[in-house]
Amino acid sequence: EPQRLTDDESYSLQITADRIQLSADSPLGALHGLETFLQLVQQNHSPAAAGFSVPYVDIRDQPRFPWRGLSLDVSRHFIPVDEVERTIDGLAAVKLNVLHWHLSDDQGFRVESKKFPRLQDYGSDGSYYTQAEVRAVVAYARDRGVRIVPEFDIPGHSTSWLPAYPSLASGPPPYNIVHEFGDPSGVIDPTKDSTYKFLDGFIGEMVKLFPDEYFHIGGDEVSAKAWTSEPHIRDFMKAHHIANAAALQALFNQRVQKILAHRGKRMAGWDEILQPDLPKSILIQSWRGEKSLAAAAREGYPGILSAGYYLDLMQPASQHYAVDPLHGEAADLLPEQKKLILGGEAAMWEELATSENLDSRLWPRLAAIAERFWSPETVSDAGSMYDRLKEVNLWLEWLGLAQRSNLDLMLRRPADR
Ligand code: ACM
């Protein structure tokens, strides 16, 4: 039974002189309560009272938003399974409940397909997750109250599909996986029925690996020129009265959404997918600015905020902490529209990150964003947040996260020979 967006996450924790009581209506709430309890455990340093203690508390707790995630790019630089799992430990510790796994991009295709094995063989440098590893990570996350939402970015950011399957491409071969970063090049051809037949087969295989209700199709930064510079695509647009590339992408999205719906999945995508005529069941992830989140909600689409939470930009925790999914234009929405704003996701893009410096990019700033998604809007004092962040940073190290130890190692390396 997969974890669901609608699961009850509340818990209560009472600690008195003679007992500790944790109550929750669901296992997910109990997991959150256990994390709070672990956070409360203190090591006593006085010799007279050696050991551990917890303070007396009476906590009744529940999250403000049901979707609290991290979007993790593993295409630009591959992140091995044990580090993905270590990241999940951190997410669970700060009560984040979604790992959005960005599994394919121009620079690498990172999941084994048994149906189309050329995808990983030609679309990666040999670093990808086997299906057994994917299943293990999904189960690991499930045990810690974290949903895994897979993303396969299409029709743009999809160069890594094309060395293996050039017939999917809008333009002529050759295509090679990209080793730099910058303007995305390869774009899937939305005009051919064979494209959708392929995607139906691929998605049919992937939905068996990823039990979550949501399936992310990316949809960001599609090069209009990759389409409009191709005569056969221009002819298709003319014949079907398609005015521009955005309208062509809308048609692509409609067909992909039907494939996903047929497999029982809800489609999620970056805010470029917010175009007319898609069913209201899809989810909009706002990255180009908070405006798109409010625009989606006004049209009846659920959404999550990522603009303002890009950890790879190396902004201070206080800057992320000040961003709120219900600020900006969202603050003026009607109450029923506000309910469509389900939360947010931090994003970690890996162009300049590897498994070695990943932890120092994520932590401890991600904990400040986690608090933003969990705690009331009124909890917003940055000084107070930094007091907690200092403690949380040390506590995360107890759990095995290496943001400080790896940093020290990396700093010493150029000096020590
Ligand atoms: C994105 O940052 N291109 C979603």
Strands annotated E in 168-253 = 214-216
* Any ligand 1 atom below 6 A from CB of 121: no
Region 385-410: mean pLDDT is 93
Probe residue for ligand 1, chosen from 100, 287, 292, 350 as the CB with the greatest number of ligand atoms within 8 Å:
287
Residue 63, pLDDT > 70, answer yes
Ligand 1 centre to CA of 202 (Å) is 23
Residues near 310 by beta carbon (within 8 Å), at least 6 away in sequence: 287, 346, 347, 349
pLDDT at res. 417: 56
Residue 365, pLDDT > 70, answer yes
Residue 285 alpha carbon, nearest atom of ligand 1 = 4
* Any ligand 1 atom below 6 A from CB of 252: no
**3-class state of residue 230 by DSSP:** coil
Query: Read out DSSP for 253-290?
Result: HHHHHHHHHHTT-EEEEEGGG--TT--TTSEEEE-S-T
* Any ligand 1 atom below 6 A from CB of 221: yes
DSSP bridge partners of 169: 188
Ligand 1 centre to CA of 304 (Å) is 14
In whole angstroms, give the CA distance from residue 227 to residue 191: 10
% residues pLDDT > 70 (the chain): 99
Q: Say which residue the tokens 């002819």 belong to.
A: 235
pLDDT band at 405 (very low <50, low <70, confident <90, very high): confident
* Any ligand 1 atom below 6 A from CB of 309: no
* Any ligand 1 atom below 6 A from CB of 356: no
% residues pLDDT > 90 (the chain): 90
Residue 413, pLDDT > 90, answer no
Residues near 277 by beta carbon (within 8 Å), at least 6 away in sequence: 250, 254
Joined tokens for residue 114: 């048994």
Residue 216, pLDDT > 90, answer yes
Residue 310 alpha carbon, nearest atom of ligand 1 = 2
Residue 349 alpha carbon, nearest atom of ligand 1 = 2
pLDDT band at 47 (very low <50, low <70, confident <90, very high): confident
* Any ligand 1 atom below 6 A from CB of 220: yes
For the chain, what is the mean pLDDT? 96
Probe residue for ligand 1, chosen from 270, 348, 351 as the CB with the greatest number of ligand atoms within 8 Å:
270
Probe residue for ligand 1, chosen from 75, 220, 348 as the CB with the greatest number of ligand atoms within 8 Å:
220
Residue 270 alpha carbon, nearest atom of ligand 1 = 4
Ligand 1 centre to CA of 379 (Å) is 29
Residues near 369 by beta carbon (within 8 Å), at least 6 away in sequence: 309, 320, 321, 344, 346
* Any ligand 1 atom below 6 A from CB of 175: no
Ligand 1 centre to CA of 313 (Å) is 12
pLDDT band at 416 (very low <50, low <70, confident <90, very high): low
Output the CA–CA distances (angstroms, integers) from residue 96 to 91, 99, 181, 280, in the order listed: 5, 8, 29, 25
Residue 183, pLDDT > 80, answer no
Nearest CA to ligand 1 atom 2: 287
pLDDT band at 276 (very low <50, low <70, confident <90, very high): confident
Residues near 340 by beta carbon (within 8 Å), at least 6 away in sequence: 296, 297, 300, 301, 302, 303
* CA-CA-CA-CA dihedral for 205, 209, 213, 217, to nearest 10: -60
Q: What angle do CA 192, 195, 200 make, to 5 degrees?
A: 135
Region 260-287: mean pLDDT is 96
Ligand 1 centre to CA of 198 (Å) is 25
Region 57-75: mean pLDDT is 98
Residue 347 alpha carbon, nearest atom of ligand 1 = 2
Catalytic residue ranges: 221
Ligand 1 centre to CA of 271 (Å) is 9
pLDDT at res. 414: 86
Nearest CA to ligand 1 atom 3: 220
Residue 336, pLDDT > 90, answer yes
In whole angstroms, give the CA distance from residue 266 to residue 258: 10
Ligand 1 centre to CA of 32 (Å) is 30
